Amino acid sequence: MKPDWDKLMKKYEGHATTLIADVDCTSDEGQSLCEKVGVEGYPTIKYGDPADLEDYEGERDLKSLQKFAAESLGPRCGPANLELCDEEGKKKIQDLLAMSGADLAKAIEGKDEEMAAAVKAHETLVESLQKQYEESEAALQEKKKEIKESGLGLMKSVKAYRVSVNQE
């Protein structure tokens, strides 16, 4: 992926509205930025508003990356680009701009807490499913062992023997 990413960065180098870059999250300089934007594994591709980057989930070959960049990157509807917004988007932004700083911070905190609760619920479910899977896997292995020890292997051996001496 790295060679294709480098080609994409070169293509957009100096672009007026689109930045294609990479960050070494293992370096001292990059680690804090990566933590801030939620990079959890490598390689991770993020895009969108720098204040609210989204994870890119598409294909990672050059053609797919170029298509995504051409169609999806660049200025978007937002407080700095109201002209790119539809009426509903403009209204939402105007309502948020009208809020006091404290009220906006409180609203953001509430949504962050809502997100954290959803993540926690998901993690709890995944842990429960993992435990169920491990218990089921252990039970399956025990049952397979029990079945084999009850004579399955010998039965198959006798059947194969019969076939080899033309008794079946």
Per-residue pLDDT of the chain (168 residues; tens, 9 = 90+): 788 888 888 988 998 888 888 888 888 888 888 888 888 888 888 888 888 888 889 999 999 999 988 888 888 889 988 999 999 999 999 999 999 999 999 999 999 999 999 999 999 999 999 999 999 999 999 999 999 999 998 999 999 999 999 866
What sign does the CA torsion over 140, 146, 150, 152 have? positive
Per the CB < 8 A criterion, the answer to whether 66 and 55 are in contact is no
pTM to 2 decimals?
0.61
Total Cβ atoms within 10 A of residue 37: 16
| Neighbouring residues of 90: CB distance < 8 A, sequence distance ≥ 6 | 82
- Answer positive or negative: Cα dihedral of 31, 36, 40, 41: negative
CA distance 50 to 39: 13
Pairing of strands 46-47, 54-55: antiparallel
